[in-house]
Structure 1
Amino acid sequence: MLLNARRINQEGGRRELILLAIEDITPLQEQVSANRLAYVMLDNSPDLVMRYDREYRYLYVNKVIEHLTGIPAADFIGKQLGELGAPAENVVRQKEAFRKAAAAKQQVSFELRFDGRLVQSLAVPEFDRQGKVVAFITFSRDITGLKKTEDALRESEERYRFLYETMTQGVVYQDASGRILSANPAALSILGKTWEEFIGSSSVKEEKSTIQEDGTPFPGSEHPAMVALRTGKPVKGVVMGDYNYPKKQYAWISIDAIPLFRAGEKKPYEVYTLFEDITERKKAEEALHDSQERYSKLFNAKVYGVTHCRIITDEHGRPVNYVIMKVNDTYLRIIGLKREDIEGKPVTDIFPGIENMPAGYIQKYGKIALEGGEIIYEDFFPATNQWLEIYAYQPKYREFTAILTDITERKKAEEALRESEETLNAFFGSSPASMNIFDETFHYVKINPAVEKFYGRPSEDIIGKSVAELAPGFRDAVKGVFTAVLETGKPQRAIEIGWISPLTGKMAYFLFHAFPVPLHGGKRGIGLIAADITGRKMAEDALRRNEYELRTLVDNSPDLIFRVNRSLQYVYVNPAYERVTGVPREQFIGKTNSQLGMPRQMVEFWQSNVRRVLESGREEPLEFDFSSLFGKRYFFARLIPEFEKSGLVATVLVIARD
């Protein structure tokens, strides 16, 4: 209560009176207390808060100014804006913001630079009861770190987009139903599609134009992308033919399909396929196949005996026998047996004891059938008491063809082998992959044009030179692989190696297949086939970096960030939420607030607000208080709906700032 007393003198000298006035000032006191609390909150705010009159004199400045300038807040009161040394550019920009706010009668956002830092400010006009602007309030926040993060993220996305648009491999994104969402220019070019006809299509819709390697239809449900979506596992190295209508031919592609998962989910929500155009390689393989057919016809003449066999292996993959599938008449004459006694039967039934012969026929042919290559040798065959010259090669995996001739027919056999070598050289020269043969000291013996292109030199400047001479970095990268081939005599397959290209000076990545190769004079050599996978590696690295940067940004945010699904269960909680609650993040995942034992009032509060966003599909602002490990805290939150492709709100993302 407010008490006022005043003495009253009466006329005629009568006794004095005292007039008392009593006023209830409870509302005034409450307002004073509220104002005092507001100023305490402003003084402890992390943001800089200032109030000015219409002449730009400071009326109030919170204590943040002392940390920024080193000048006590009290020294600003009554001073003009800029009087205490603020940069002239900032003063001009701030006054302009005040003028705009007064004219528009609404808040105006602007940015200032202060000692190399970027500050985002909000100018808010203050009105009297007649609606006249009487003062201005500014709220300022240092956003230097946020700006740098945004710039870094934008640069990362631009780099990824540039790679996506310019890489030579095709990239296609599909949603969980298989609908095509995006494709890069290389994908459209390889497949002969336009953006309009391809985007929105699906594997099932495109199946009419796709075939498998054997020429049979390739069902859309079995396309690598659909298999990856169905199994949740990557699918790699699948070869498919897709008819390119503009070119009127099939484009043969080698496909890798990678499923993508959201945090906490077991089913992929998208899949991306990365594929390479191998049409030219396929043509080369077909040409080689045709050449091998002609090669077989040549050796099916009366002078040569030919047998085509399929290797049999035990449970460990070791060759233990082989079945003679087909022989020619000359072979029957040389061996001295009938066709019905040979074809379709295991060699151990035809020639008992062959598995124990010192020549090791089964192991020798098994190596050819399983690992490829060829072999030519002379041998005395005890079963028929003959000296034979035998040439064996692999026309197909797990199969070999052996060509037998009398030793007197050596010249004819050598000429046939020369033709075979020419056929192989044609394949060697046309392959887009780098194909190399090295001797035991790592000197180049033979190369194809792809190697010349890699070095930017003609073959005569490469043959005879060592790897160390031409590309020291390459020598260091492959030395271990080459040594392993020489020491074990076994191929080293699918090895990824990177080094600085001597031509471009940039990092290049290759997929290596190294294998033993016999050279003239009984010497050993190393064959190397290298496929350039630089584009694919760059794409994978860019995608990984982008995902890592986004994850790092969220995990290191001081704001509380969490996501709940339609069942109000947590599916993501960032580290800031764990620091405030003291509850490990993993204990939140898959649980509701009720299951976490939160107070009933809080459970109902969050249920009602989250459900409102789920139903309306609109973002909602929200203020709430929370009893944290650091005492009672007040938060401003944004509840943001996240939609499925169907348009249904799947989850709600909550970002709360103290």
Structure 2
Amino acid sequence: NDSILALMPKEYACKSMREAYHALPELTGNFIHDFENALSKNEVCYRDFSLNIDDETHWFNSKITPLFNAGGIAIGFSQRITNISDRKKVELAISEKNHELKSAHRELKEIIENTSEIIFKLNLDNQIIFVSPEFERSLGFPGSKIVGKTISSLIHPEHRQRFENELAEARKTGKSTTHNIFRAVNRDGIDRWFNISAKFVRNTQGAPFIGIVFAQDISDLKLTMDSLSASEERYRSVVNALGEGVVMHDNKGLIIACNLAAEKIFDLPPGGALGDALRRSNITAIKEDGSPFPMQEFPAAITLATGQSIHGVVMGIYKRSGELVWVVINTEAVYYTSDHTRPDAVVASIFDITEKKRSEETLSAHTKQLQNYSDKISGILDSITDGFIALDNKLEVTLWNKVMETETGISQYYATGKKIASLNCFMLNDAVADVCREAIRHYTTKNFEHFVPEIGRWLEYSVYPLGEGLFIYLRDISARKQQENLLALEKRVLEQNATQSASLNTTVDYFLEGLEEIFPGMLCSVLILDDDGKSMRHLSAPKLPKD
């Protein structure tokens, strides 16, 4: 074939084997090996080989057939060379595509096995035909146990009908319009909460034939959100839990995989992130303090450059709409080969914490507001000129104002948290404690007066019970009490003086004794002039020595 001979090297065509081997040892050596095999084994030998002709690779097939005489003695061989370049190019293209498909399969498998979301694959009857390994990690059941069952059988009965309704709506529209929260029960009978979304793959006629359901276990997040919202649950409902996004970058930083949660976080259309560059210039990111987040400090960029895993990086990202979304990013390097010098890809998990961050900021603002209220109340209580105490139901001090500090010498720091009985305070004796217990037990206000000999004053106690304890208000009523006692003494003196046996001496004695009783520490005496008008003598002095 002249066309084939024209393509063959001139050092080989029409040359002896010795000449050809001397000029082209590699090519000719392979042929010689085939010649020897053909003669020794009496078989046809085939070999594909390539030649670079005019900077273009051409592929050929060599067929060597042994020749024998009538007696069966080898007398030579024939070689047929066929140009197979077109066929070979097709085979190489198919091989390359197969490699790409295998690579994509490995990447998808990496995502499925490492994502914290459970991924279900459904048939047209909503029966599970595949479930990812996260199912067993989350609920404790082997995935093989639920293959063939309807996915709604995993949902708690209280949520099952709503789930079926939303799954049916997703089948009509092609995907869930939002992420929804459903409850399931794990192997130990403990409730687990999941953020679930669905998407249905359609055939060429537009009809759904495969369903993909993503379930993100948000039990820990829900517990955290419930805890943060406990102090505010009277004012608003518990905030919705959020899903986790997964993004994979290749070794050039291009996004090669992105799940639905990530598309929702970044406000992207389905598949809109694929092929996007890690270092695109139109992304605006900030740190927690509001400063710019440099591209070279992005977790995925660091992992891609160093292979180092990054965890718990908080980043604020502005969506195209201008909305700021806060996320926590974790990254892991992916290696396809044993050479770990540089990652072949990076998997990033992106958790939306926008609502959580807002809740923390609101909680912080409320805490500051409560602290301001507490400071104002403390200021008001400190300005009160009477004693004020707050106790819990165990009669332990929770508030002790400055008047109590001054009157008792016991500081608020020392008194707070202690039972009143352990303070040994003369103003809060056992009788006062009994009244407090009765007020708590019957949930009734108590008012009583008590003379405190340690300070020589009368105090009025007002005890007001509350749901978590009580308040005690102590007011000095010594002046009022003395006035009342003086009026009562005056009345008794007038009644004494009106009796037939009354005399000036007995009446004055009765009056002075009453004054000394009302005013402890006071000594009273009355002096009168003798009949001679020159000397004085005591008419009455109840507590003065007789001599």
TM range (shorter): 0.3 to 0.5
Compute the TM-score of the two structures, normalised by the length of structure 2.
0.39
Q: Which has more radius of gyration?
A: 2
Compute the TM-score of the two structures, normalised by the length of structure 1.
0.33
